[in-house]
Amino acid sequence: MKIKIKFFASLRTQIGQSQIEMELDNPLSAAQIWTQVSNKTPLPANLLIAINQEYANKDAIVKAGDEVAFFPPVTGG
């Protein structure tokens, strides 16, 4: 099963790509996806996650065809 993973802002630089596709044998949580794509870097506590363009928590399950986005918190002024 294939999923699309997107990285925004500083995470794009950290990962070295803005988007990747990944094959999964079984559904995984968003946190497990992050661990696999970030060379086992711990999931930052303030990292925002969206699955199919809706905010999700780190334990949300990612399934075939889903789009997962990781981005740092947004601040404004």
CATH number at residue 38: 3.10.20.30
Q: Is residue 77 part of a domain?
A: no
Q: Is residue 75 part of a domain?
A: no
Please state the pTM of the whole predicted model: 0.89
Q: Is residue 20 part of a domain?
A: yes
| Number of separate domains in the chain | 1
6-56: pLDDT as tens digits:
999 989 988 899 999 999 889 999 999 999 999 888 888 899 999 999 999
Q: Is residue 76 part of a domain?
A: no
Q: What average pLDDT is seen over the chain?
A: 92
Instruction: State residue 76's pLDDT score.
Output: 62
15-27: pLDDT as tens digits:
899 999 999 889 9
Distance between CA atoms of residues 69 and 4, nearest Å: 8
Q: Is residue 63 part of a domain?
A: yes
Question: What residue numbers bound the domain in which 36 lies?
Answer: 2-70
Q: Is residue 9 part of a domain?
A: yes
Distance between CA atoms of residues 38 and 12, nearest Å: 11
